[in-house]
Structures are given as C-alpha cells and as structure tokens.
Amino acid sequence: MSSSEKPGPTRSGLFYALGAYLLWGLLPVYFVLLAPTGPFEIVAWRVLFSLVFCLLIIVALRRWRQFAAVFRQPRLVLIMGAAGVLIYINWQTFVIAATSGQIVESSLGYFINPIVTILLGVFFLRERLRPLQWVSLGISGVAVVVLTVGYGAVPWISLIIAFSFGLYGLVKKQVGPRIDAVNGLTLESMWLAPLMVIQLVFVGATTGVTFGQGSGWHTVGLVAAGAVTAVPLLLFASAAKRLPLVQMGFVQYLTPIMQLLTGVFILGEPMPPERLIGFAIVWIALLVLTVDLVWAARASRLRIANDMPTARSENILET
C-alpha cells in the first residue's frame, strides 16, 4: 500500500476508539463467565495482572529509563495514586454490578458519565457552560429523580460509576502531558497492588480464593484479566491523540449501548416501564449534549477558517 493510501490520523484513531469501546462493552460478559469467582477476587487479579502486563510492555519496549524518570516527580506520583483509588472504585463497583445481575444499572452510569464530566468541569475547572449544556444537565437531573422514584432507591451503582470515572478523567486530564498511558497505568497498579494483596487475603479467609482451583480455562481467564484491562485503556489513549473530541463523544456511547443490550437480551435483566422512561430521559439529555458539541465544533472550524485569510494577509504585509 502506498503512503497516500495509508489511513490518516482520524481514520486510525477511529479504529483505536472502536477497539477500546467494543472491548469495554464486552467486559460484563467476560466477568460473568469467570464465575464462581467473586467480584473482589476478580478485581484483585485484574489489578495485579494489569501490573504484570504493563511491566512486560515496559521491558519489551526498553522504556525503564522513561518509567524511572516519573519517580523524580513526587507530586505526579501522588496524583497517580489518587487516580488509582478512583479507578479501583470504578472497577470494583462495575464488577459487583456485572456479577450480581445489575449490568443495566451500570450501563446507565456510563450513559450519564459525559454529563457528569461537564458538571465536574464547572465545579473544579470553573468552566462556563453553554445554554444547551445547562439544558442537558437539567434533563439529567430529572432522569435521576424518575429512576430514584421508579427503583424506590437512589441508583447508587450508576452514580458511583459515573462520578468515579468522571473524577478519574479529571485527574488524568491534569497530568496527561506529563505521563503516557503505559507508565500511568503501571503506576496506578503499583499503588493498588498492596491493597489487592490484602483483598485476596480477605477473600481467602472468607469465601476462599478460586484461582487455580477450577479448570485451566478459568485460570487463564483470570490471568488474561490483566490484558483485558490494559489493552482497551491503551487503545483509548491512542484514539484520544488522533480523534476530535466530538467524534470520541459519539463513539463512547457504544459501550453503554452494548452493556444495556447484554443485560436485557442476553442476561435477561428486567426493564420495567419506569426504568425505560428514566433511560429515555437520559438519552434525550445526551442528544441535547451531542447537538451542542456538534454546533460548537462547527463554529470553531468556521472561526479558524475566517481567521486564516486575515493571518495570510498579515504575513504578506510583513514581508
């Protein structure tokens, strides 16, 4: 294939994004297939084998010096520890939902995550919202009320998943230029590793550890949880460098859609009218948000296009 036929940054970024979100969409089925392993043991092995997988990548790519250089920035190391705690909360909540027949509720968390991200931007980054973004937030609030009334309880799983991942993204945004995806995930896993060992000891003392006690495929599945965790995160990081924010926003809805369909049609979770109404209101909020993002991106391109002739004329005058 000639150089002119090679996929450009946007096209390759789309492939990376599709790969990441497709893998994330399949995770509930993967964790269900790991039965009888419980959620706390699954997450412990997930973190520990993610650490092993990332260290193997660092060794294979001979990036020890780059990784060691991170430790010369103590503040960055501490921030990555906070990121590790947030992603642990997200993973643990998600796996508990996946293994206890609450995949539909976990999918709701990822549906409202973009809206939570905007809300966090207002509180922590003091960003100003456009009118349609305020409308989207208001509609989302109505959805949470409807779902709370329908469930008879606050949808805590959805809210914990949405806010933990939103805060994780906020932390990663602050340190993004200073650490890449592999080093970041390695450091997060290193922070969590001692806690995961304690978690395994606790599981062993209560329900018993299942690793190595079942079939060979079951053991392979637990070991592979490290790669299953790391690969989509690395694909996501590659996609984020190549795709505009609007396109990433469109593709990210693939994960909760797949999780919703898995919960309802494969695992037979109930979808009563009040839950369906709540989801419908969330989708309306997302539609409003998407329209706003498209308009903002189009306006930005028009401004750049209008500024280019002015810039060219100024350069001509200077010469």
Q: Where are the domains of the chain?
A: 7-111+155-270
Residue 14 near residue 243 (C-beta atoms within 8 A)? yes
- Angle at the Cα of 67 from the Cα atoms of 19 and 245, rounded to 5 degrees: 35
pLDDT of residue 244: 67
Contacts for 133 with CB less than 8 Å, ≥ 6 apart: 118, 289, 292
Structure tokens at 263: 């919960």
- Write the DSSP symbol of residue 128: P
pLDDT at 68: 92
What average pLDDT does this structure show over 6-12?
62
The letter for the amino acid at 64 is W
Cα separation, 282 vs 305, whole angstroms? 35
Lowest mean pLDDT among 55-59, 88-92, 114-118, 228-232: 114-118
- Kindly state the helix (H) or strand (E) to which residue 283 belongs, with its residue range: helix 273-318
3-class SS of residue 122: helix
Exposure string of 75-87, with b = 16+ CB inside 10 Å and e = fewer, is ebeebbeebbbbb
Alpha-carbon gap, residue 233 to 189, rounded angstroms: 13
Using CA atoms, how far apart are residues 262 and 28, in angstroms rounded to an integer? 8
Alpha helices in 152-215, H assignment, sequence order: 156-175, 181-206
Q: Using the structure block, give the residue that is written with the tokens 């990081």.
A: 237
81 vs 182: CA distance, rounded Å: 15
What is the per-residue pLDDT for 5?
A: 44
Is the pLDDT confidence value at 117 over 70? yes
Query: How many C-beta neighbours within 10 Å does residue 93 have?
Result: 23
Q: Report the alpha-carbon angle 67-85-172, nearest 5.
A: 55
- Measure the CA–CA gap between 246 and 115, rounded to whole angstroms: 14
pLDDT tens-place string over residues 280-305: 988 898 888 888 877 877 777 777 77
Tell me the torsion sign for CA atoms 105, 158, 133, 138.
positive
At residue 249, the pLDDT reads 64
Share of residues in the chain with pLDDT > 70 (%): 90
303: tokens are: 């401004």
Q: How far is CA 138 from CA 122, 124, 133, in A?
A: 14, 19, 9
Worst-scoring range by mean pLDDT, 5-9, 173-177, 234-238, 282-286? 5-9
Axis-axis angle for helices 273-318, 131-151 (nearest 10): 160
The residue among 50 and 126 whose pLDDT is bigger is 50
Examine the pLDDT at 3 and tell me if it is beyond 50.
no
pLDDT band at 4 (very low <50, low <70, confident <90, very high): very low
Residue of 255, 84, 91, 246 whose CA lies nearest to 160: 91
Alpha carbons within 13 angstroms on the beta-carbon side of residue 66 total 15
Question: Is 0.75 topped by the overall pTM?
Answer: yes
The predicted structure's pLDDT at residue 149? 81
Q: Is the pLDDT of residue 251 over 80?
A: no
Q: Any residues with CB less than 8 A from the CB of 226 and at least 6 apart, and which?
A: 45, 46, 48, 49, 50, 51, 52, 53
